[in-house]
Structure 1
Amino acid sequence: MLTKETLTKRQQDNVVKRIAKSYDIESIEFLNFRQDPMTGTYHLKFKINGDDKLQTGLSVSKLSRFDNSTDNIGLDPVETFAELKKSSIDNNVNIDSIYIKYLGE
């Protein structure tokens, strides 16, 4: 049986930093986080800028993938998020002005 996994606020902040490096976002709401019992893959679902059309997710094979804030994240479908895409990657992104609704809040 799988244990109920969750992400720390720091891990969720890391995801926000990784997205905000490449996209102009005002808010992010983490909707759910689960592990697929068949594959062991972790799935994180979130919504950008309070828009239901901007719901997407991130799937990773290891929980430790949420421990860094430096990897780039591309949001899919690409066409849906094209208008938010920055012209260049900002590796010194500051997430203080981004509203974050964490899992379980």
Structure 2
Amino acid sequence: MSSKSTLTKEQQDNVVKRIARNYDIQSIEFIKFSQDTKTGTYNLLFIINNNEKYKTGISIRNIERLNNSTDEIGLSPIETFKSLERENVLLTENIDTSDIQITYLGE
């Protein structure tokens, strides 16, 4: 498997929904998606709310995990993102992300 991996728009939307479930975000810019050829781990980097302070990412072993929008994503460092945490976690399946500005990979 090559280190030049890509995510579908749907998978990126799923990441947005999973973050929006726990955090109040206005925008997300996907910066980089890559695979570590030694470990096989996928890394996705993004910036939330156009603020370098909120530049973070997630690592996953299996790219198929991004095919659903229901798993929770916790952002770290926890202290940095505490101010964005929702008081009430959204338990609904269909999270409305229409008011979140999304910049997809490769845009």
TM range (shorter): over 0.9
Equivalent residue runs for 1:17-36 within 5 Å: 17-36=17-36
Taking the aligned partners of 1:46 and 1:98, their CA distance within structure 2 comes to: 14
Query: Corresponding residue for 2:105?
Result: 103
1:40-87 Cα shifts (integer Å, max 9, x gaps): 000000000000010000000011011000001100000000000001
TM-score for the superposition, normalised by structure 1: 0.96
* Amino-acid identity (%): 54
Secondary structure of the 2:33 match is strand
Q: Deviation of residue 88 (structure 1)? A: 1.8
TM-score for the superposition, normalised by structure 2: 0.95
Secondary structure of the 1:83 match is helix
Taking the aligned partners of 2:9 and 2:41, their CA distance within structure 1 comes to: 20
Q: Structure 2: where are the runs of 5+ without partners?
A: none
Query: Corresponding residue for 1:11?
Result: 11
Paired residues, what number?
105
Q: Is the 8 A contact 2:3 2:37 kept in 1?
A: no
Compute the RMSD of aligned alpha carbons: 1.0
Moved over 6 A (4+): none
Q: Structure 1: where are the runs of 5+ without partners?
A: none
Taking the aligned partners of 2:77 and 2:3, their CA distance within structure 1 comes to: 31
Secondary structure of the 1:11 match is helix
